[in-house]
Amino acid sequence: MHAIRTLAVYLLTLATFLAMDAVWLGVVARDLYRRELGHLLAPTVRWGAAGAFYLLYVAVLLVLVVMPNRGAPLLRVAALGALLGLCAYAAYDLTNLATLRDWPVHVTLVDLAWGAALTGATAVAGRAFARWLLP
């Protein structure tokens, strides 16, 4: 029963992350990415790679931030989630900034802020799901 409830926490947290990122990528920042990175974008999304990222990232968020801190103050969970998001998105964006000729600095800054905000908010949601479903 504990495994099923843990899986439910994972799936609810994953759905939260996906929903927020879909709004970001599909509505809020869509024009920014197309305008600034259009020459680098693949003609279609490689869903296998995207899916692997989402599945792994949310699992790591739960293992490293949410589960060990589900009884911790909300602000701590949000801050730890934001720190994880900042570091994870920095690995991508700063590597691109260091290695790609036309990678824009402002895209890096926007993406770092989004990674921190998204992951912090998802950590808070994951904590709520864990406190609700797990003993």
Q: Check pLDDT > 90 for residue 131.
A: yes
What's this model's pTM, rounded to 2 decimal places? 0.95
Range of the domain at 65: 2-133
**Residue 59's pLDDT is what?**
98
**pLDDT at residue number 1:** 77
Q: How many domains does the chain have?
A: 1
Number of C-beta neighbours around residue 24 at 10 A: 16
Which amino acid, 32? L
pLDDT by residue (tens digit) across 35-69? 999 989 999 999 999 999 999 999 999 999 999 99
76-123 per-position pLDDT tens digit: 999 999 999 999 999 999 999 999 998 999 999 999 999 999 999 999
In our burial notation (b when 16+ CB lie closer than 10 A, e otherwise), range 67-87 reads eebbeeeeeebbbbbbebbbe
